[in-house]
Structure 1
Amino acid sequence: MDTKFDLVNIRESTDLVNILKLLGYEPLRKSGGELFYLSMLRENDSSPSFCVNEKSGLWYDHGMGKGGSVIEFAISYWSNLPFKDAINELLKLSGQLPGEPINRAQGVKQTSLLMREPSYIIREVKPLGSNTSITNYLKSRGIFEVAQGHLKELYYSIKLQDNSRREVFAAAWQNELNGWEVRSMNFKGCLDKKAMSFIAGNDSKINLFEGMMDFLSWKKLFPGEPSSALILNTLSFLNPALERAKTFAVVELFFDHDKAGRKATAEALSIIPGSTDGSGFYAGYNDFNEKLQNLLSEGKYLNSSADELRKGPVR
């Protein structure tokens, strides 16, 4: 007889943070009632981008642009298993027998959809240059000067669990739906709606980037190139990005050298005839910005022309 699951009970009584701990994952930091982990759903996550809200029990992976409850986590984590088997794995970890009824009076969480009532308030938007911490962060990435006109200093507050507010700031840019993509030394995220960012340029050529830092790295190294640019802000927008890119005669891809980036590149090359993979420029590095930082640290950028840099990795 097939096991029937009470998914509502499982969702309400299963602590995702505890599940992650049992799987061997610990948060690297905590901010505003949210725990940040290196993503266990993707390979080679270099900064904590998997977030769990302690109050709601909901998770969101910024690299995937995907989230949900502990049920959706189980489906994503045990993606090689059928739905029933993935839920059974979750139940075994939480100490529940598959199909065992759960006492609603014990351990029930109240899940609130925080997105409907934002926990942040934007205080001020300013040009770059007045905040030393933001300036130093962007200089450490090698893109402070070229970020002028693209990035802003965003000052905002976030609501804590005790309903007090913490004032924070970050480098930020608006996406096409007016959501703010925010970045700092220890945090990356999005305030409000997630969307892509388009930088208008040449009508016949477009370059695709996963993130703004990679676009700015390209712009710094090749300032004279007039190509348009589409920053996905998350690879979950790959399909709509490719639909837009099809309208351009020339398409060049600059995705990361991790598993997700390589998969996205292969998919794009198969869908858009004549598109090219430009990531060979930063072969040996995970992304464009990592290559730029290496060039700057070795002093090679200042002594190289764009044509010389195009020849390949400088090591």
Structure 2
Amino acid sequence: MEENKYDLSKIREETDIVTLLSKLGYQPLKRSAGELFYLSMLRDTDTMPSFCVNEKLGIWYDHGLAKGGNVIDFALSYWPALSFRESIGKLLEVYGNPDSLPLKTRSAQIEIPLKHPSYLIREIRELGGNPAISNYLAQRGISAAAEGFIKEVYYSIKKENGDRKELFAAGWQNDLGGWEVRNSLFKGCLGKKSMSFISADPHKLAVFEGMMDFLSWRIEYPGNSASALILNSVSFLKPAIKKASEYSNVDIFFDHDPSGRKSTEEFLTSVHYSKDCSEIYEGYNDYNEKIQHNLGRNTSSASSRFAPPLNSSRR
């Protein structure tokens, strides 16, 4: 007798990942820019919500694992000890969707789910042509430093019905050629996830968790000549430490949350001459949060918002 087959396309289309997480006992701790953030249920070390779900696109991303995908990818990650078929069966059992039960007489070949949404990069443009992207960067307070580092990325994602949804975002390329993309509704990566290295001074290195923090630093210290390393995910901490060991002067600018503090401690232990510079944005979770706060306070002119005084004794 032919083994049961699942209609994977129907499962992906009709299974809401937020509802599935609720049925599994997980609730979001915050909502930001159209995304829901959870403590990761794929790791037992998460102390700050780093598992995010984009409801509109129906995809998830775990920033600690640098891994994401659709609801089927989640089932495979959540029940790793089960086979593919057993994971899908468990998903249907928990979700309780009668319309997605096994199709016993279906003869079509089972579609293998993609590890990431099917995307096509249409075009990469310089900044300035898309008001929505420009406004997003302005809201983050880093417009004055973005040119040369941020591009306009135009791409599409294949929907379940075969049509393509056209999207755009601010983006920058990582060291493996993937594009880290951000807009007011979504944060993700097109292609392989990796760090982003910006070469400059061969002896000095500044290390950041994210590009927005790097650009915030550029806002306050536009004349600093240090090379820069953006992790794009704290999961790249160890290779970042290895890269940093090649430099004689290393400054680190990590978040003030538990994950950032733990990463700072590990960095200081491994690269004993490195310096924790997070006191610059003391009282804020990260560097960009400080810049955004200053942006809200200083409304007299763009120059007063984007060019705080330099600390001449810093270097």
TM-score tier after normalising by the smaller chain length: 0.7 to 0.9
SS for the counterpart of 1:290 is helix
TM-score, normalized by length of structure 2?
A: 0.74
2:85 equivalent in structure 1: none
Partner SS state of residue 38, structure 1: strand
Corresponding residue of 1:265: 264
CA–CA separation in structure 1 for the residues paired with 2:39 and 2:251: 29
SS of the aligned residue for 1:306 comes to: coil
Aligned residue in 2 for 1:25: 27
Could you tell me how far 1:52 is from its partner in structure 2? 8.7
Please state if 1:64 is matched with 2:65. Answer: yes
- CA distance in 2 between counterparts of 1:274 and 1:20 reads 43
CA change 1:221–1:111 in 2 (3 A) is farther
Change (3 A) 1:159 1:224: same
| Per-residue deviation, 1:59 | 5.0
Distance 1:201 1:272 in 2: 20
Aligned partner of 1:112 in structure 2 is 112
**Residue aligning to 1:178:** 177
The secondary structure found in structure 2 opposite 1:176 is coil
Q: How many residues align?
A: 275
1:161: Cα distance to partner?
1.3
Preserved CA contact (<8 Å) 1:211 1:232: yes
Q: Work out whether residues 35 and 185 of structure 2, in 8 Å CA contact, stay in contact via their aligned partners in 1.
A: no
Which residue of the other structure, out of 295, 307, 311, is the alignment partner of 1:307?
Answer: 311
Cα deviation, 1:169-192, whole Å, max 9, x if unaligned, reads 100111111111100011010001
Q: How does 1:111-150 map to 2 (within 5 A)?
A: 112-115=112-115, 119-150=118-149
Question: 1:255 aligns to what?
Answer: 254
Whole-angstrom distance in 2 between the partners of 1:139 and 1:273: 37
Contact 1:214 1:287 in 2 (8 A): yes
Moved more, 300-309 or 63-72: 300-309
Q: Distance in 1 between matches of 2:127 and 2:137?
A: 10
CA offsets 1:10-62 (integer angstroms, 9 cap, x no match): xxx9x793541121436999xxxxx953132144448x73469999xx85313
Look up the match of 1:158.
157
37-46 or 154-163: bigger deviation: 37-46
CA distance in 2, matches of 1:142, 1:59: 27
Where does structure 1 lack aligned partners over 5 or more consecutive residues? 1-8, 30-34, 76-82, 85-90, 97-102, 311-315
Change over 3 Å in CA distance of 1:281–1:74 after alignment to 2? farther
* Aligned-partner SS, 2:188: strand
**Structure 2 segments unaligned to the other structure (5+ residues):** 1-5, 41-45, 83-89, 96-100, 105-109, 299-303
What's the % identity of the aligned pairs?
42
- Counterpart position of 1:32: none
**Which residue pairs with 1:291 in the alignment?**
290
Deviation at 1:284, TM superposition (A): 1.1
Mapped partners of 1:120, 1:19: distance in 2:
25
The one-letter code matched in structure 1 to 2:52 is: S
The one-letter code matched in structure 2 to 1:114 is L
Distance in 2 between the 1:230 and 1:152 partners?
A: 18
Report SS of the residue matched to 2:292: helix
1:49 aligns with 2:52: yes
- Separation of aligned partners in 1, 2:228 and 2:305: 22
Give the Cα separation in 2 of the matches to 1:251 and 1:54.
39
Partner of 2:78: 73
Question: 1:189 is matched with which residue?
Answer: 188
Q: TM-score, normalised by structure 1?
A: 0.74
CA distance in 2, matches of 1:26, 1:51: 12
For 1:269-280, what aligned pairs fall within 5 Å after superposition? 269-280=268-279
Report the residue type matching 2:161 in the other structure: D
Structure 1 SS opposite 2:311: helix
**CA distance in structure 2 between the aligned counterparts of 1:305 and 1:209, rounded to whole angstroms:** 21
When the two chains are superposed, the root-mean-square deviation of aligned CA atoms in Å is 4.0
Q: How many Å separate the matches in 2 of 1:59 and 1:52?
A: 9
Contact 2:63 2:235 (8 Å CA) reproduced: no
8 A contact 1:154–1:169 mirrored in 2: yes
Determine the C-alpha separation between the residues in 2 that align with 1:302 and 1:131.
Answer: 21
**C-alpha contact (below 8 Å) 2:61/2:67 kept by paired residues:** yes
Query: Are residues 95 and 147 of structure 1, via their aligned partners in 2, closer, same or farther at CA, if it must alter by over 3 Å?
Result: closer
